[in-house]
């Protein structure tokens, strides 16, 4: 079993090699908008999981996850060969491609934060002309003795 630092370095190198190969060597047009986001490798350095995301042709166009997955599956052997040549490890790890849902989750979190900002702005707008329900100063002040009561 390899140490964790070596596994992290190897996973990072695998991500770089796969991204470079997709950009320069694999000629499948379905991989034009694929971005490699991360790679993880098992402790025995035998299996690597490569995370990817797919961007749409434009901001309004939906990304083609099915086409990208099929293209990555068909290019798996070429990519594994490139990883074997680029890493120099004794056993070239098998590659598994998994779509990365982090960008979609980040977009959802941004939408939730925007809703929270709108709700805070609405509360602040309503609070501008509001008066306290009780006394203006709700904290107890020290008792002041009346000189007449003595």
Q: What is the pLDDT of residues 8-33, one digit of tens each?
A: 999 999 999 999 998 898 888 888 88
pTM assigned to the model: 0.69
Domain 4-101 maps to which CATH number in 3.30.300.20, 3.90.79.10, 3.40.50.1000, 3.30.1370.160? 3.30.300.20
Q: How far is CA 129 from the centre of its chain?
A: 41
Please list the residues that pair with 95 across neighbouring strands: 48
Res 150 pLDDT > 60: no
Which residue from 70, 50, 54, 63 is spatially nearest to 10, judged by alpha carbons?
50
Q: What is the pLDDT of residues 96-116, one digit of tens each?
A: 999 988 877 888 999 999 999
Q: How far is CA 86 from the centre of its chain?
A: 27
Torsion angles phi and psi, residue 138, rounded to 5? -75, -5
- Which pLDDT score, from 0 to 100, does residue 20 have? 92
Q: What is the pLDDT of residues 52-100, one digit of tens each?
A: 988 877 777 777 888 888 999 999 999 999 999 998 888 999 999 999 8
- Which pLDDT score, from 0 to 100, does residue 32 have? 84
Give the residue extent of every domain in the chain: 4-101
**132 CB contacts (<8 Å, ≥6 apart)?**
138
**40 CB contacts (<8 Å, ≥6 apart)?**
11, 48, 49, 51
**86 CB contacts (<8 Å, ≥6 apart)?**
13, 17
């Amino acid at each position: 079993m390899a140490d964790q630092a070596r596994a992290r370095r190897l996973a990072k190198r695998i991500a770089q090699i796969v991204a470079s190969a997709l950009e320069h060597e694999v000629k499948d047009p379905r991989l034009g908008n694929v971005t490699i986001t991360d790679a993880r490798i098992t402790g025995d350095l035998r299996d690597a999981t490569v995370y990817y995301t797919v961007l749409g042709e434009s901001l309004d166009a939906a990304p083609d996850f099915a086409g990208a997955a099929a293209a990555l599956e068909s290019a798996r052997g070429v990519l594994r060969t490139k990883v074997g040549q680029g890493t120099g490890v004794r056993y070239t790890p098998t590659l598994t491609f998994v779509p990365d849902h982090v960008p979609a989750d980040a977009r959802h979190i941004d939408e939730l934060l925007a809703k929270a900002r709108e709700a805070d702005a609405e509360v602040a707008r309503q609070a501008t002309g509001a008066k306290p329900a009780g006394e203006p100063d709700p904290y107890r002040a020290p008792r002041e003795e009346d000189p007449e009561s003595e």
